[in-house]
Amino acid sequence: MKMNGARILLECLLKEGVDTVFGYPGGTVINIYDELFSCREIRHIMPRHEQAGTHAADGYARATGKVGVAIATSGPGATNTVTGIATAYMDSIPMVIITGQVPTALIGNDAFQEVDIMGITRSCTKHNFLVKDVKDIALIIKKAFYIARTGRPGPVLVDLPKDVQIAKTEFNYPESVEIRSYKPTTGGHPRQVSKAVGMLLAAQCPVMYVGGGVILSNAAEELTILARMLSIPVTTTLMGLGSFPGSDEQSLGMLGMHGAYCANMAMTHSDLIVAIGARFDDRVTGKVATFAPHAKIIHIDVDPTSIRKNVRVDLPIVGDVRDVLAKMIKMVEKSTSEVEAYRESLRPWHAAISSWKNKHPIAYTRSESVIKPQFVIQKLTELSDGDAIISTDVGQHQMWTAQFFQFNKPRTLLTSGGLGTMGFGLPAAMGAQAAFPGRQVIAICGDGGIQMNIQEMATLVQNRLPVKIVIINNNFLGMVRQWQEIFFEKRYSQTCLELPIDYIKLADAYGAKGFLATKPDEVEDVIRRGLREEGPVIMEFKVAREEKVLPMVPSGASLNEMLLNA
């Protein structure tokens, strides 16, 4: 039976198991929306801005591990998705973004709402396609999903001209796809894996340095098994939080610019670093020339271009980290007696780490008169569901969440790591809640970031998505203000948000509930009331205005040169 291109697109999405899309209608996608009208198998959620729709698809993907899908019309609709696409690209999130385009005969003519979205997104997509023939839609969509989810995941954009959506052809969806120029390596080479195990069993001060790749490959269980078998300390990046239980005694917490003292000191004094699904970002390494000066480095990553890109590597292993860790576990299991002796040999190393933990723990000075933001995060950890999904915006509250919220499971922290996108937290939570309507989803935001996509309160209410929003309100763009205080003699240039916004009235205007805490003894009650409500909620906390995120490694300094005190 012949179908038009718009219907073929939806049939392709169904074949790929897509149950939810986030999109905004417009002239060049009106045919897709006409077909969506009668397609009950796909839930469509319309954001109030295309950027938010793309972030929502991103949050859906991070929370589920599936490919997130977003739709936008041509021109400004397409350009509004770019920040969301770049966010997903930096954090390796699998997404397919479908944009409408002017009819093929008008491409290049500066037609109404025409833009070269292919050229614009070439640097921030894993791949992109322009569909020129209705007969190509099925194969291109198959390729798009395959590319998005395999190897190092990432966003793929499909640009679909209006005349291609209208044209008709037979629908045949390919069972599999072969792309000659794209063949990611997934199996780690056994010889390299064996060398890695040998280096591990010879090390006296090893550290596992874990990034978001462990979560993306669903390898948290394998990581935990191997770390516990060998009693190796584990530190994670921001993107890796939850891949290893934060409550485990072997956990060092997050490392890097705002990482734990013990994690940064362990990296500095380590003799072997096993980097697993991490890319040695500048926020982690500090001054590269002095990074881990005594350590040999094993780097495990599915993306060969990430290895040796930023730091020297003694043993590269290209492959899916789940496969590599599973092979390492099997090899270690064959060396029972050697493993017991090895675990015993690490006692002095664990003693050194314990001393660092005790010397400078992640802590803050409590107050009876003003709400400390760290206290709010601690209370959220205590009072929220152990299975809660937490999203954040970017800034001080993001770092306090990383430091003080205890993540014990993968895919429970959704945050913009590589791009650092303000406005991410609310729509990402929206996507996660759409994926898991029965789970508790909490968006932790600053008073700066929340206003970048605050319009999505309407989407939450309309779609009955009971996201709980925590606003850490210090009336500042807090992280920039902190830098201005420390490095620019308190010249607070354009970081003071003086206009008092009544977020409780704002919540009410959208048809949601709002609660406010201005004193420490009100915090627990507001959190309990907010989490108890059935629908969307804003919980606002007026916090200490000039509280800083510490520890802090200044830009250009070494990891062991941390600012520890206010």
**What pLDDT score does 499 carry?**
86
Rounded to a whole number of angstroms, the CA Rg of the chain reads 24
> Rounded distance, CA 414 to CA 393, Å?
9
In terms of C-beta density within 10 A (0-12 exposed, 13-18 middle, 19 or more buried), how is residue 478 classed? buried
**What pLDDT score does 213 carry?**
98
DSSP secondary structure of 292-311: STT-EEEEEES-GGGTTSSS
Mean pLDDT of 306-331: 96
Sign of CA dihedral 129, 131, 136, 141: positive
Angle between helices 220-230 and 336-345 (to 10 degrees): 70
Alpha helices in 219-303 (DSSP H): 220-230, 261-269, 282-285
Mean pLDDT of 510-519: 98
**What pLDDT score does 566 carry?**
60
Question: Is 1's pLDDT higher than 90?
Answer: no
| Residue of 379, 375, 12, 300 whose CA lies nearest to 165 | 12
Mean pLDDT of 348-361: 97
Least confident of 23-32, 151-160, 219-228, 336-345: 336-345
Q: What is the percent of the chain with per-residue pLDDT over 70, rounded to a whole number?
A: 100
**What pLDDT score does 336 carry?**
82
pLDDT digits (tens, 9 = 90+) for 169-202: 999 999 999 999 999 999 999 999 999 999 999 9
Model confidence band, residue 402 (pLDDT cutoffs 50, 70, 90): very high
> Rounded distance, CA 556 to CA 70, Å?
38
Hey, what are 101's tokens? 């385009």
| Residue of 452, 482, 469 whose CA lies nearest to 544 | 482
> Rounded distance, CA 379 to CA 29, Å?
45
Classify the phi-psi angles of 113: left when phi > 0, otherwise alpha if psi is within -120 to 50, otherwise beta. Answer: left
pLDDT digits (tens, 9 = 90+) for 539-552: 999 999 999 999 99
Question: Going by DSSP bridges, is the β-strand pair 155-161/127-130 parallel, antiparallel, or unpaired?
Answer: parallel
Q: Which distant-in-sequence residues (6+ apart) come within 8 Å of 10 by Cβ?
A: 32, 35, 36, 39, 42
Hey, what are 316's tokens? 């590269």
> Rounded distance, CA 428 to CA 80, Å?
16
What residues are annotated to the active site? 50, 112-113, 162, 479
pLDDT digits (tens, 9 = 90+) for 266-290: 999 999 999 999 999 999 999 999 9
| Three-state secondary-structure class, residue 516 | strand
Angle between helices 520-532 and 373-383 (to 10 degrees): 40
**What pLDDT score does 498 carry?**
84
As a whole number, the mean pLDDT across the chain is 97
Contact 440, 468 (CB under 8 A): yes
| Residue of 245, 219, 238 whose CA lies nearest to 302 | 219
Contact 533, 513 (CB under 8 A): yes
Q: What is the percent of the chain with per-residue pLDDT over 90, rounded to a whole number?
A: 98
Question: Is 360's pLDDT higher than 70?
Answer: yes
| Three-state secondary-structure class, residue 286 | coil
**What pLDDT score does 10 carry?**
98
| Three-state secondary-structure class, residue 92 | coil
> Rounded distance, CA 267 to CA 234, Å?
10
| Residue of 141, 26, 6 whose CA lies nearest to 74 | 26
Model confidence band, residue 234 (pLDDT cutoffs 50, 70, 90): very high
Mean pLDDT of 61-67: 98
pLDDT digits (tens, 9 = 90+) for 238-250: 999 999 999 999 9
551 cis-preceded (ω within 30 degrees of 0): yes
> Rounded distance, CA 16 to CA 427, Å?
23
> Rounded distance, CA 329 to CA 346, Å?
19
Question: Is 335's pLDDT higher than 90?
Answer: no
Sign of CA dihedral 269, 273, 277, 279: positive
Mean pLDDT of 486-492: 96
**What pLDDT score does 29 carry?**
98
Q: Which distant-in-sequence residues (6+ apart) come within 8 Å of 566 by Cβ?
A: 365, 548, 550
